Chain A
Amino acid sequence: MRFLRLYVTYISIFLRTRRENPFTFYAGVFANFYSYFVTYTLLWAITKSFGSIDGWNIADITILLGLNVLAYSISGVLFSYAVYQIDNEIISGNLDSYLVRPMGILQQMASMSFVVDAFLGPIAVTVIFMAGAFCQISYHMTVYSYMYLAAAIVSGILIQSGTMIVLGSLSFWSVRPQKIASIIFGEMHMLTNLPLSIFPEFIRRCFTYVVPWAIVNYYPSLIILRKVETNEEFVVGLLSPLMGVCFFVFSLYIFNLGLERYAGSGSQ
């Protein structure tokens, strides 16, 4: 648990730095709080005016969106540095400085990122809206549903983190990840805020098996909100926590392949 201790130390240093400059901190948190607040409100308004989207009411949609934002924000806190900076670190040769230390590169990079405040806003909004939504949903949540919810959140974080790690790894093959990241986390990400059932078959397959983001929020929502209809939905839903772990391990494997390639080709 060396990483946890490092991270706690890092966060305390980070918060102290921000206290010295509180305006930056609150401005950062507020700007992002605001933008996600707008997202939730917009979705809320749409759902309200249509009554529901394909059978999903306001509370359902909020949970669907919330799982997504939570996974994205927490992964972002940990791994956005890896996605957006690693190519610079490789080009400048600074990656060597990480490699001479006795700790994993990704763990070190997690405690380099100075964007914690950018993700605190969305996390705060989400917690508020989701708590509201869980009070509204019409049936009783059991201990098992809460356990499943926790597992689903962790798995969502693992999948989003895995996606970020794979994107960051592209840098080892001289592909700049930023552009791809902005497509993936921008437009594509928006789609998964809506129930997958409203999309054509092809897109549904794509988000389930290719870019497995429906596993982050859609399938878990089906299970929690008791909307499962087909066997496939049930199986994918139940297995989604496991898939999160698998995808994360896969992403670490890709990253290590990249590192090997780096040691093989060298930096100037």
Chain B
Amino acid sequence: MDGLIRAEGLSRSYRVPKHGGGLLKRLFSAEFETIFAVRDITFSIEEGEAVGFIGPGGAGKSTIIKMLLGILTPSAGSVTVMGNDPVRNRRDNAYKIGVVFGHRSQLWWDLRVCDSFKLLKRIYKIPDGVYRENLEYAKEFLDMGSLWDEPVRELRPGLRMLAETAAAIVHGPKLLILDEPVLETDIPAKRRICEFTKTLNRERGTTIIMAAQEMKVVMEVCRRVMLMDLGSIVLDSSVAAFKQRFGGKHSIRVDLDAPLPEFTLDGVLSSHRFGGLTWDFKINQDRITIGRLIDEISKRAEIARVTVEEGRIEDIIHEIYIDGLNDELYEDD
């Protein structure tokens, strides 16, 4: 089979006014430069996969998604979605794709939640039976009984996203695309959306493509992850392998009651601010545990607060670049 999605040498560039120069200069010279939002990427996605695009803001995730949906034309390269050119067959493909945009709404702002679904039923020409079945399925998982009669505009962001997610699947799509689905969502709603997406993938074989800046959500839902930076895919790996390689690294922030002078511990990288009041630590869990580190600090000063974060995306990207550089150096030998 040809794969559900196939992208080859896909690029998308924008012409943007050149930065720098005074306002006058910019107004009159109208100098443009070409920036690549997505640069020469190749990948394919098979039916039934759950794939996540992660990367910092501006990495090009949304640009890829727009090209898959056929609402943005590529500037170079080719892409097929379900065997079709997405731009030329945008509407045909739309019957088989569900979309959740975290920062746009698919629902009718002025109407009640249930009304949007009635309208979607017409737009997608969903047969009664299918409509009822999908709706029940979504309602059960997303627990949206209570918001069914609420006007969309009065919903909290978290609840609205539940309704958005349900709206994206009433027509029973083969492919569900989510772009930053949990941007402003509270934790219970976030969990439900993740759980629902996973179940959809497992029980119905719906292919999932999720783009998010937040790694954790993607790691939870997806089995494969593509890490993007500056328009390129810098890593394409299974989530399991990704976790193994980068999962052990945590960054720990410790706020102290009194400044602490510089100190060193094995397996710990540290930096401090505010004259030693706030410390950021990165630890290598093979060499030292978080508990040990906290223990060592508390011997030296009174701890006010501890925050633990999974490794940040930027650090992971940085590490991949460094590794790549080392590999190149090694090859040169």
Residue in contact with B66 in the complex, picked from A9, A96, A111, A112, CB distance below 8 Å: A96
Contacts of B71 in A (CB 8 A): 96, 99-100, 262-263
Contacts of B12 in A (CB 8 A): 266
Also in contact, A263 and B92, with CB within 8 A (given A94-B104, A94-B105, A102-B123): no
Contacts of B103 in A (CB 8 A): 93
**How many A-B residue contacts, CB cutoff 8 Å?**
70
Also in contact, A2 and B122, with CB within 8 A (given A114-B110, A266-B72): yes
Chain A 84-109 residues near chain B, CB threshold 8 A: 92-94, 96-97, 99-103, 108
Q: Which of B44-52, B94-102, B267-275, B316-324 contacts A (4 or more CB under 8 A)?
A: B94-102
A5: Cβ under 8 A from any B Cβ: yes
Residue in contact with B104 in the complex, picked from A10, A96, A263, A265, CB distance below 8 Å: A96
Q: Which of B111-119, B183-191, B245-253, B279-287 contacts A (4 or more CB under 8 A)?
A: B111-119
Question: Complex Cα distance A13/B111, Å?
Answer: 8
Interface of B, secondary structure class, is mixed
Query: Are B94 and A101 interface neighbours, CB within 8 A?
Result: yes
Closest chain B CB from A59 CB (angstroms): 41
Which residue on B lies nearest to A4, using beta carbons? B122
Contacts of A5 in B (CB 8 A): 122
A186: Cβ under 8 A from any B Cβ: no
Contacts of B36 in A (CB 8 A): none
Question: Complex Cα distance A253/B41, Å?
Answer: 34
Query: Are B94 and A9 interface neighbours, CB within 8 A?
Result: no
Query: Are B87 and A9 interface neighbours, CB within 8 A?
Result: no
Question: Complex Cα distance A20/B215, Å?
Answer: 45
B84: Cβ under 8 A from any A Cβ: no
Query: Are A6 and B66 interface neighbours, CB within 8 A?
Result: no
Residue in contact with A100 in the complex, picked from B63, B97, B122, B125, CB distance below 8 Å: B97
B78: Cβ under 8 A from any A Cβ: no
Query: Are B119 and A103 interface neighbours, CB within 8 A?
Result: no
Known: A6-B122, A103-B91, A262-B71. 13 other contacts (CB 8 A): A6-B123, A9-B119, A13-B119, A96-B69, A96-B71, A97-B99, A97-B101, A97-B104, A97-B105, A101-B123, A102-B95, A108-B123, A263-B73
Give A contacts to B, CB under 8 Å: 2, 5-6, 9-10, 13, 17, 92-94, 96-97, 99-103, 108, 111-112, 114, 262-266
Jot down 10 A-B pairs with beta carbons below 8 A, ordered by A: A9-B119, A9-B121, A13-B119, A93-B103, A94-B104, A96-B66, A102-B91, A103-B91, A112-B108, A263-B73
